[in-house]
């Protein structure tokens, strides 16, 4: 039995799905989760916006002793994805401790660029 | 009623508004705030410089259960913005806990580049 | 005698070795370790994947009062490296406290891009 | 009298001064310090390498209520700068609490790229 590591509650204030891409790489964001535990982690996402009500209760499972690099474009609520080209923010709440990193690839202007940061944990 | 999350006091030492842009994207910085609480957050910015007195008491409101991606070029003190092309630093003090991430897009040289980091919280 | 600084246990959820490179710079990741202590640090890496069992017990030594910028492509288990072009995650466990930063250079699309973040420490 | 904020002891494991630049922007790193206090901060840098003894006791002053974005190429020990194109790491020790962020601009390959992270504080 491996122990769960990290925290259950994480935040990413700077969410944005670039609407455009050029070249071989598609603009996207990844919420990268590491689950060190033997048990699976059930993660509940809340998506916050600047000018409308949050999208709540989007669920993702990460298997035990696995990572999952979750494309934000894959997160759906009642069949609707997060809109592209709109500033938003992400809250994750997991039933067991996990570790979360956020990265964005933007290929709007011919060449790609990357940014990354650990998400902010509530302790 | 949703609870406020995060911290009230945050710092970003590396502020810089790139004076030049190329292509479709404009160089800019965003201070991305997430307010998880039902109540609105009143945030007071202080801008520090290398060679002059700070700009103090710039106020921004973030509504409850909302994010706001604040362009630093929108921060004004007595009608004067933060000067471009000058190294500076940012302090945020909120009346309720929030989470803060800082990102910069620089398109000075034809293609854009991004950098991002969580702001540093005082606990 | 210099004291060890930092933490013994660190995590990097967003690992990815870009398979392609262009120009003078080769796409790569670095796990940058600082060992402030007089003693050497023995670090045990575990590599987690999305769809297969972890690679465990990869050992790296960092001398006392030295840094080591470890290319992830140099990490080998029974002669096999971390596969390129695959999402993965990294756990480091050191016998003495160290400080860990993660950076990636991606030169897939003509010009290079960089991202960097401190690894996440277990305290 | 304004109070000092942050921590006295910070680390940046991934130091690297890119030897090449193209276009209008010069490759460089900045160690961005924010001193919120009324008093000046006296900072002592130690530079660690992979294969040689550290450069110790490089001193920098940051005035009270000021930020300083310190180019690593300006750090000198007995007239010698940090060598370019060499992996290194940075330790900062300040006599009063400060906040430290690290950023690198790399313009080796025609277009510039940026990376940034908060330094790691010892608490």
pLDDT tens-digit readout, A29-71: 999 999 999 999 999 999 999 999 999 999 999 999 999 999 9
Question: Which residues, 6 or more positions from B74, have their beta carbon under 8 angstroms from its beta carbon?
Answer: B81
Kindly identify which residue of chain A lies nearest to residue D112, measuring between CA atoms. A113
Give the model's pLDDT for residue B108.
Answer: 76
Neighboring chain D residues of A22 at a CB cutoff of 8 Å: none
Looking at C5-9, D16-20, D36-40, D54-58, which range is the least confident one? D16-20
Shortest Cα–Cα distance, D23 to chain A (Å): 16
Measured CB to CB, residues of chain A less than 8 Å from chain B are 9, 11-16, 48-51, 53-54, 87-89, 91, 104, 106, 108-111, 113-120, 122
A113: confidence class by pLDDT, cuts 50, 70, 90: confident
Give the model's pLDDT for residue C19.
Answer: 87
What mean pLDDT value characterizes chain B?
Answer: 94
B-D Cβ pairs (cutoff 8 Å, strict): 90
Which residues in A65-91 are b (16+ Cβ under 10 Å) and which e? bbbbbbebeebebeeeebeeeebbbbb
In order of their start, the domains of chain D are 7-117 (2.60.290.11)
Q: Are A28 and A103 in contact (CB under 8 A)?
A: no
Neighboring chain D residues of B17 at a CB cutoff of 8 Å: none
What is the complex's ipTM, to 2 decimals?
0.95
Q: C8, C9, C13: which to substitute to probe chain A, counting the most A Cβ within 10 Å?
A: C13
pLDDT tens-digit readout, B30-39: 999 999 999 9
Question: Which residues, 6 or more positions from D6, have their beta carbon under 8 angstroms from its beta carbon?
Answer: B11, B120, B122, D34, D36, D97, D98, D99, D100, D121
Residue B120 and residue D112: Cβ atoms within 8 Å?
no
Shortest Cα–Cα distance, D49 to chain B (Å): 25
Residue (of A49, A87, D113) closest to B30 by Cα position: A87
What average pLDDT does range C53-69 have in this prediction? 98
Kindly identify which residue of chain B lies nearest to residue A15, measuring between CA atoms. B32
pLDDT tens-digit readout, D76-90: 999 999 999 999 999
On the question of pLDDT at D122 being above 90, the answer is yes
């Amino acid at each position: 039995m491996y122990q769960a590591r990290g925290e259950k509650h994480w935040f990413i204030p700077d969410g944005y799905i670039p609407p455009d891409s050029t070249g071989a790489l598609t603009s996207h964001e990844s919420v990268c989760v590491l689950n060190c535990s033997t048990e699976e982690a059930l993660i509940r996402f809340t998506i916050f916006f600047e000018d409308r009500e949050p999208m709540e209760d989007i669920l993702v499972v990460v298997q035990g002793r696995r990572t999952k690099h979750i494309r934000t474009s894959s997160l759906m609520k009642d069949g609707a994805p997060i809109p592209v080209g709109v500033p938003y923010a992400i809250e994750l709440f997991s039933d067991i401790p996990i570790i979360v990193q956020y990265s964005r690839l933007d290929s709007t202007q011919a060449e790609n660029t990357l940014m990354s940061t650990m998400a902010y944990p509530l302790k």
